[in-house]
Structure 1
Amino acid sequence: MEGDSVTLHTDVRYIRYNKRHIEWRFEAEDTGVMRLDVMTGKMIYDFNKKFRDRIQIDNQTGSLTISNIRTTDSGLYQYQVRPRFISESFNVTVYAHLPIPVITRDSTCSSSSSGSSSSESRCSLLCSVLNVSHVTLSWYKENSLLSSISVSDVISSVSLHLEVEYQDNNTYSCVLNNPISNQTKHLDISELCRTHPDIVHCYSFTEAVIRLVVSAVVGVATVAIVVYDITSRRAEKRRRTSQSVPEILGIFTIFNESQNGLNDSESK
């Protein structure tokens, strides 16, 4: 675990008395090779001063102790005894301290829901962790494993989905673990699900398609009704206009004839 002290033991006893020479090597992709001469206890080569004062050598056995170990200290350590050329390797993996998982309501839809009626009676949840590597995230119901996801490389965010009934009284927990430690977060259904009136409606693929088609049909029908109404109003307006023109012309004709009659009377 990060922050611990680790000792890599050799099978050699009393180096000085046997006049043996031991050399430690450390190889990692990001640091190159580190070499230590146990006879003098001095660093021969340390790329980027990686270990600084965190290394101690047992000058009797040649055992190597690394204090306040870091995740970047993971890699292959090897010692070699001369002149007999005895060697042994240690593959060291340093794990970071695990964060406690966070359980939240899931705002996205789950494909496992069979319909709106079932989705309304279920609570959709997410268990998440940030910036982790070499871990497994799991959902448990009582002591039974429900689902899990494992990651090896460093990932910014890992999430695992779960759906439960609102009235479910079982015990659920989300567990984050690596080979040497774990962190557990227990689910409080009453806090996350029952006390929240908002319900995320999730639908199956078939129902989602049906709802989409129905919405599209309703939309098209609405547009058609609006277009028909506008067209009808314009047609009615044009019809009234065409009927009013002859009436106006007739009134104008009668007015002219009456005027002409008056003029003829005055002339006589």
Structure 2
Amino acid sequence: MFFMFIYYFLFSWNLAGVFGVDSVKSVSVTEGESVRLNSDLTEIQRDDEMTWKFNNIMIAKLKDSKSRFYEDNAEGRFRDRLKLNDQTGSLIITNTSTTDSGEYTVIGTSTDSTLNIFRLTVYANLSVPVISRDCSSSSSSSNCSLLCSAVNVGDVTLSWYKGNSLLSSISESNISISLSLPLEVEYQDKNSYSCVINNPIRNQITHLNITQLCHMCPDCFHCGSTEAVIRLALSVLVGVAAVAVMVYDIRSRSFQQKREQTSPSNNE
């Protein structure tokens, strides 16, 4: 008898953990989207009441199939953005914002029991990462330095990929910090590279065009290698020397012609 009691207790406790209030459902959406939080009821009776709370603050109630919204509660953040399904009592939040993230509880007031608990996370929209030539970095004669940058919106990871293989990544949860990740490739590299920024539900990708980005910076010599600068200087010196030789040759010929014209033989 004692063992049967223990078995019944453990079985009941397990059911409570699966179907009871301890079962918190995680929901994630991107900012601006609408989200539906279901009460898990197929139909409510006319006399039943249902209350929705956000972080223990009452925001909506369904009574006698009529919806009532407490728009001044929760600092007025849900004003004109809440809807209730009068058949099931499900809550719809439109035009979501990151400030909507939190815990939502639906309570059947007639039975005073919690029907569902949701943990909603609203992620900000991701910006498209930008790949640029890193002119502040000194590259070798065969390599090109690049930089992938993105505006951080919190809880994101910025990564470089070579094909489908991850090369490097950086993660940041602080929204006040912009992210940048360097990459060095060879000028003649034919592999495909991409920079990806992602959060748990979305990503944005920018593909690298090596031919377009990896060239000598037109406005700054230091973007190229030291060897390239030396070659440029030598080319300039050779050009100046060639001009000097031409000028000297022209002047020599002109002087010779004048000398021949003023010689005694010509006077006779």
Asked if TM exceeds 0.5, the reply is yes
Equivalence for 2:200? 179
1:99 is aligned to 2:127: yes
Following superposition, the deviation at residue 164 of structure 1 comes to: 0.7
Give the distance between the partners of 2:216 and 2:210, measured in 1 at CA: 9
Amino acid at match of 1:72: T
Amino acid at match of 1:6: V
Equivalence for 2:191? 170
Give the distance between the partners of 2:112 and 2:136, measured in 1 at CA: 61
**Which digits, 9 at most, give the CA deviation of each residue in 1:146-190, with x for residues without a partner?**
011122231341111111112211111101112222111111111
Equivalence for 1:58? 85
Residue 89 of structure 1 aligns to a residue whose secondary structure is strand
180 and 168 in structure 1: CA distance in 2 versus 1, 3 angstrom threshold: same
Give the distance between the partners of 1:189 and 1:196, measured in 2 at CA: 14
Q: Is the 8 A contact 2:38 2:91 kept in 1?
A: yes
1:125 to 125, 143, 146: 146
Equivalence for 1:25? 53
Q: Is the 8 A contact 2:160 2:168 kept in 1?
A: yes
Equivalence for 1:76? 103
Equivalence for 2:253? none
Aligned residues: 191
Unpaired stretches in structure 2, ≥5 consecutive residues:
1-29, 227-268
62 and 158 in structure 1: CA distance in 2 versus 1, 3 angstrom threshold: same
Following superposition, the deviation at residue 195 of structure 1 comes to: 4.7
Give the distance between the partners of 1:202 and 1:101, measured in 2 at CA: 27
Larger radius of gyration: 1
Amino acid at match of 1:93: T
Equivalence for 2:31? 2
TM-score of the aligned structures, taking structure 1 as reference length: 0.64
Give the distance between the partners of 1:194 and 1:181, measured in 2 at CA: 33
Matches within 5 A, 1:1-268: 1-17=30-46, 19-27=47-55, 33-39=57-63, 40-44=66-70, 46-87=73-114, 88-109=116-137, 119-196=140-217, 198-200=221-223
Amino acid at match of 2:186: E
Give the distance between the partners of 2:222 and 2:188, measured in 1 at CA: 14
TM-score of the aligned structures, taking structure 2 as reference length: 0.64
Following superposition, the deviation at residue 76 of structure 1 comes to: 1.1
Following superposition, the deviation at residue 11 of structure 1 comes to: 2.0
**Which digits, 9 at most, give the CA deviation of each residue in 1:80-138, with x for residues without a partner?**
1124233221111112221110011224448xxxxxxx723211111001142121111
Moved over 6 A (4+): none
Residue 128 of structure 2 aligns to a residue whose secondary structure is coil
Instruction: Identify, as 1 or 2, the structure richer in helix.
Output: 1
Give the distance between the partners of 1:202 and 1:95, measured in 2 at CA: 43
Following superposition, the deviation at residue 201 of structure 1 comes to: 7.2
199 and 192 in structure 1: CA distance in 2 versus 1, 3 angstrom threshold: farther
The alignment yields a C-alpha RMSD, in angstroms, of 2.4
Give the distance between the partners of 1:48 and 1:35, measured in 2 at CA: 10
